[in-house]
Amino acid sequence: MNNLNLFAHFIESASMSERPAKRIRLACEPCRRKKTRCPGEKPICSHCARLRQNCYYADDLNHVNERTSIERTPLPTPTRIQEKSHVRSSNDINLEDRLKSVEAQLAEVLSNQVSMSRSASRHMSNSPVLSQLGQTMRTPNVFRLSSSKLPPYEAVISIAKTYLLYCDCQPLPVFCRNRFVETINERDPEVIFSILALAIRFSDDDIFRDDQSELITGYVEAAQSIISARIFGGRVELSTLQSLCLLSLVDFTNGNTRQASVHSSLAMSLAHNSGLTTETHAPLPDSLREERRRCFWSLFLLKRLHGAEFSVIDFAGEDKFPWYPETTGKPLNHGQFTNGETPDLSSPEFAISDTQDRGVVAYAIQLSEVWFKITRYARRRGNPSTLPPWSPQSDYALIMAQQMDFETRTS
């Protein structure tokens, strides 16, 4: 009896140790991914059969992969090793041959490009149009080159006298008349070129009689090149501003109003930056101090006569600006200077009191302000203000009041 109980207990423990596998391990792969209840039939479960999808199990897939991998990877025999090394060596040889052929083709392409560029350059050099253009660029016009050179000393002196006769204070009082002719050769070349470009049209000398337009163009270009070099080199001098004044007048005379406005605007900007708009207190010679004043007021006249828009100067605060250019004073008595001495214009004999007039140049400067307002009013005739002309606050009334005030002060 005891033996039977032991045998039953042994059978029961053996059956308990052999537990069945979990259902998830028996499921096919599609059902496992979808997390659905798989019946586990093989080779195709009823769930996959109903959905008409491919049904396979992980155990079958592993066996298939192992079998195919074993079939595809043969054992490394000595003959196969020798075949692989032979194939590798032949591949290396083929790669080297291909690289050599590519290098040869590249060398051929480069040599062809060099030969083509040389032939193209040779063809371009043989072209008549390009050869003529290159020649004109390498060798400038002989007449233009000769016109950019200063004429002889006698011709320059003659032009200086012509400038004083026809151009000085008409309308720009750029230079002092005192010793202007004697010191003309001491001035910077851009000033001499500008004076020549402005005054040769009034000259009767044989050297300036033929082809005056070409001469004027050559002198203007020579002056502009020197001025540009000074501006971009940071070496702006008083002569640079004086030359820009004269060149602006040349362009205005020739009808190039836009170019004239460019020159005058550039000169005015440089004058502001260099402190020419105020009276300097530096220890300067009287002649240089006077030409600083004349240069500023010449720029002022240019901008006003051109009708350019810039800040209107209030002449009630004249102490903020340079003094007006000095007047010529009384006529010189030639009997007092028979020994060749130069009169001293700063002496009391030539002094001007506050009650006397300041000269025609100073009044021309003041009148140019009224002229500027008149031209601006005429230019705005298409867009009149809301005030009628007879209103005391209208532009017309203010201009007329300033004009009458000027006439009262100059009478």
Question: What per-residue confidence (pLDDT) applies to 337?
Answer: 33
Q: How confident is the model at residue 358 (pLDDT cuts 50, 70, 90)?
A: low
Q: How far apart are CA 183 and CA 86, in angstroms?
A: 99
- Can you tell me which residue has the tokens 């060798």? 139
Mean pLDDT of the chain: 72
Question: What per-residue confidence (pLDDT) applies to 362?
Answer: 73
Q: How far apart are CA 147 and CA 200, in angstroms?
A: 12
Judge whether 197 and 250 are in contact, CB under 8 Å. yes
Mean pLDDT for 137-162 is 67
Helix (H, G, I), strand (E, B) or coil at 168: coil
Pick from 205, 194, 202, 173: nearest CA to 250: 194
Mean pLDDT for 341-363 is 51
- Return the structure tokens found at 211: 């082809």
Question: What per-residue confidence (pLDDT) applies to 248?
Answer: 92
pLDDT in tens, 253-306: 888 888 888 888 898 888 888 888 788 788 888 888 888 888 888 888 888 777
Judge whether 55 and 45 are in contact, CB under 8 Å. yes
Per-residue pLDDT at 357 exceeds 90: no
Higher per-residue pLDDT: 166 or 19? 166
pLDDT in tens, 158-172: 999 999 999 988 888
C-alpha R_g of the chain: 51
pLDDT in tens, 25-39: 678 888 888 888 888
Per-residue pLDDT at 315 exceeds 60: no
pLDDT in tens, 30-84: 888 888 888 888 888 888 888 888 888 877 765 555 545 544 555 555 555 555 5
Burial track 331-346 (b if 16+ CB lie within 10 A, e otherwise): eeeeeeeeeeeeeebe
Q: How confident is the model at residue 3 (pLDDT cuts 50, 70, 90)?
A: low
Judge whether 367 and 305 are in contact, CB under 8 Å. no
Give the whole-number percent of the chain exceeding pLDDT 90: 17
pLDDT in tens, 191-230: 999 999 999 999 988 888 778 889 999 999 999 999 999 9
Higher per-residue pLDDT: 131 or 385? 385
Per-residue pLDDT at 307 exceeds 70: no
Question: What per-residue confidence (pLDDT) applies to 166?
Answer: 92
Per-residue pLDDT at 156 exceeds 80: yes
CA angle 367, 368, 371 (to 5 degrees): 95
Question: What per-residue confidence (pLDDT) applies to 119?
Answer: 55
Question: What per-residue confidence (pLDDT) applies to 377?
Answer: 78
CA dihedral 97, 99, 102, 103 (to 10 degrees): -110
Mean pLDDT for 1-7 is 53
Q: How far apart are CA 4 and CA 11, in angstroms?
A: 11
- What predicted TM-score, i.e. pTM, was given to this entire model? 0.51
Residue 399's contacts (CB-CB under 8 Å, 6 or more residues apart) are 370, 373, 374, 377
